[in-house]
Amino acid sequence: MRKVSLDETRAGSIIARTIFSLNGMVLLSAGSELTLERIRYLVHHGITEVYINDDISKDITIPETVREEILIQTKSQLKKLMTVPSIKTVDGEKALELVDRLMEEILKNDQIIISLSDIRSIDDYTFSHSVNVAIFSMMTGITLEYKSDDLRNLGVGALLHDIGKMRISDDVLKKPSSLTIDEYNEVKKHTVFGYEILKNSRNINTTAQLVALYHHERIDGSGYPYNLKGNEIPLPAKIVAVSDVFDALTTDRVYRHKMHPSKVVDYMYSLSNKHFDKTVLNAFFMHIANYPVGTGVLLNTGEKGLVSKYNPVWPNRPVVRILMNEKGMMLRQYSEMDLSRNPEYYIVDIWDV
């Protein structure tokens, strides 16, 4: 199994995982063969990527941090929670229920390596993003030894960090081109709007309110809405800031293509103690797969392959299924190479298989 861009998917490919809409409707079942008509259908629903089964990815299993059905249910219920006309308050008790369900899923994992590869529609970005940010943030909180109640409040704040965007016009939020200065200033208001909504809501802790308000503040004072610096920014807001940016950069948007996780890791560390708290970054990236299972990689030898197994001890040295030799010729028989046992081999770049 591997995930591929729908733009590069050929008719005849076999779908490996069922594709759902946000409301839980099956768009295409696992095992279905893609046709040109079905590809157009998925594009119409805003789907940009699909999981497929093919010869080169045979027997490769991509792990689920949170079961797909739980992700779909949570996103669907979050949408109902947030899309209320002229939203002024939110059901804090329901938000806590959603956070508890996610936390239960996360704690089932013995080795918690986050590889949130859910197939999402561009139109459903806000809700998929919010659920992912909650999972990322709670994982980071666990690493930073948050107590149970603090973890739940962090989770609620992360889940609802963008609720203020419900007061921003879709014409601005989903604009496929660059925003004007006035439009960008309008988007920036979502932090204050979110704070107001959560402050007026029952069963929403102060931590969650401040996460909504401060998740775009940056360590060097370059953020908004108040240009806070360093320790002026609460730790939960620093955690959500990292989770927010990572998920945004690794997701396709209407105005740009996603970045690969390994590139995002380098980029975010380059902003360590400038935009992001280094302690938070270290805790966050302890649980991120730099090269997720199914990623095409180029080795220093010129050989190309597919990551077939993640290495939690040495994230940059996974098991790679070698598909192509150094001359660019496809191999008739693939071999598995554990980079942790072969120090002379290493990954130099990613490869669009």
Taking the C-alpha atoms of residue 296 and residue 321, their distance in angstroms, rounded to an integer, is 9
CA dihedral 244, 245, 246, 248 (to 10 degrees): 80
Taking the C-alpha atoms of residue 297 and residue 347, their distance in angstroms, rounded to an integer, is 7
> Which of helix, strand or coil describes residue 214?
helix
Taking the C-alpha atoms of residue 182 and residue 179, their distance in angstroms, rounded to an integer, is 8
Give percent above pLDDT 90 in the chain: 64
Least confident of 101-115, 130-144, 182-196, 308-322: 101-115
Do 2-57 and 68-285 have matching folds? no
Average pLDDT on 141-169 reads 95
Least confident of 180-189, 194-203, 250-259: 250-259
pTM: predicted TM-score of the whole model, two decimal places: 0.89
- Cα–Cα distance list, 277 to 132, 135, 266, 319, 320 (Å): 20, 19, 15, 31, 33
Q: At residue 81, what is the residue type?
A: L
Architecture of domain 68-285: Orthogonal Bundle (1.10)
Least confident of 14-23, 27-36, 142-151: 14-23
Q: What per-residue confidence (pLDDT) applies to 69?
A: 81
Where b means 16+ CB within 10 Å and e means fewer, 36-75 reads: eebbeebeebbbbbbbbbbebbeebebebbbeeebbbebb
Chain segment 83-95, per-residue pLDDT in tens? 887 899 999 999 9
Chain segment 200-222, per-residue pLDDT in tens? 999 999 999 999 999 999 999 99
Architecture of domain 2-57: Alpha-Beta Complex (3.90)
Q: What per-residue confidence (pLDDT) applies to 170?
A: 87
Per-residue confidence at 70, pLDDT binned at 50, 70, 90?
confident
Q: Residue 242, CB half-sphere, CA atoms under 13 Å: how many?
A: 32
What are the structural domain ranges in the chain?
2-57, 68-285, 296-350
First and final C-alpha spacing in the chain: 13
> Which of helix, strand or coil describes residue 221?
coil
Q: How many CB atoms lie within 10 A of CB 192?
A: 16
Chain segment 172-181, per-residue pLDDT in tens? 988 888 899 9
